[in-house]
Amino acid sequence: GNWTAKNKFTPVTEDFAATQFEMLIDFLEKNDFEQYEISNFSLSDFHARHNSNYWKQQPYLGVGPSAHSYNGFSRQWNVAHNQQYIKSITEKIIPATIEILSENDRINEYVMTGLRTKWGINVEEISQFSNLNFLEKNIEIVEKYKNQGLLTISENNLILTKKGKLLADRIASDLFM
C-alpha cells in the first residue's frame, strides 16, 4: 500500500503471516471458537448467517448506498455516494450497476466462496449452475490436493484442511472453469 511505498511500513513475509495466523486459529479453538470461514470465527452455532448466504451463493438483497445484491444469475451494486443514491431514488432511477453472470462465473464464484468455509463445496450443487460433472472434470486436481493433505472429500463435499486454507485462493483458481 501507500505506507509500504513511502517506507513507513515493512510487510511481514508470507511464512511469518501464516505462522501468526495458525497461532491465532489454535488460540481461538482452545477457547471454543470455530473457524467457519477463513477469516471468520464464532462460538458454535453463532456464525453470521447473512454472510453465510454470500459464501453459499444464496440470494441476498442489499439496500442503500454501496449495498450489494445477488439473485443467482446476476449481481448488482448500488452507487456509493449518498447524494447520488438519493437523487437517483427521487428520480425513480435504479442507482445500481448490474452484472449478468455466465455459467462459468457462477461455478467459479461458488468454488471461490464455498471453499473458504468449513462446509466446503458440494459438487452435486454445482449442477444447479451447469450439467457439468465437476468432480469428474477436476479429479486430477482434487486428488493432487488431497494427496498433499490440503483437501478432503466428505460425501459430496470438497473441504479444505487447516493447511489447505492457507492456500485457498490457489486451490480455488486451479478448480475454476
Residue 59, φ and ψ in degrees, nearest 5:
-60, 145
Here the cell at position 42 is: 464464532
Q: Residue 5: in which H helix or E strand, if any?
A: helix 2-5
Mean pLDDT computed over 2-14: 86
Question: Does 1 have pLDDT greater than 80?
Answer: no
Q: Residue 158: in which H helix or E strand, if any?
A: strand 157-160
Q: Are residues 81 and 141 in the same domain?
A: no
Reported pTM: 0.85
Examine residue 120 and state whether it is found in any structural domain, yes or no: yes
Q: Which residues contact 36 (CB under 8 A, 6 or more apart)?
A: 42, 47, 52, 117, 118
Write the DSSP string, 49-108.
HHHHHHHTT--B---STT-EEE-SSEEEEE-S-HHHHHHHHHTT---EEEEEPPHHHHHH
If one counts every other C-beta atom within 10 angstroms of the C-beta of residue 63, the result is 7
pLDDT in tens, 11-53: 899 999 999 999 999 999 999 999 999 999 999 889 888 778 8
- SS3 state of residue 176: coil
Sorting pLDDT into bands at 50, 70 and 90, what band is 8?
confident
Domain end residue (candidates: 79, 100, 121)? 100
Q: Are residues 90 and 131 in the same domain?
A: no
Q: Which domain holds residue 68?
A: 62-100
Domain end residue (candidates: 42, 72, 100)? 100
Closest CA to 114 of 99, 124, 102: 124
In contact, 162 and 25? CB cutoff 8 Å: yes
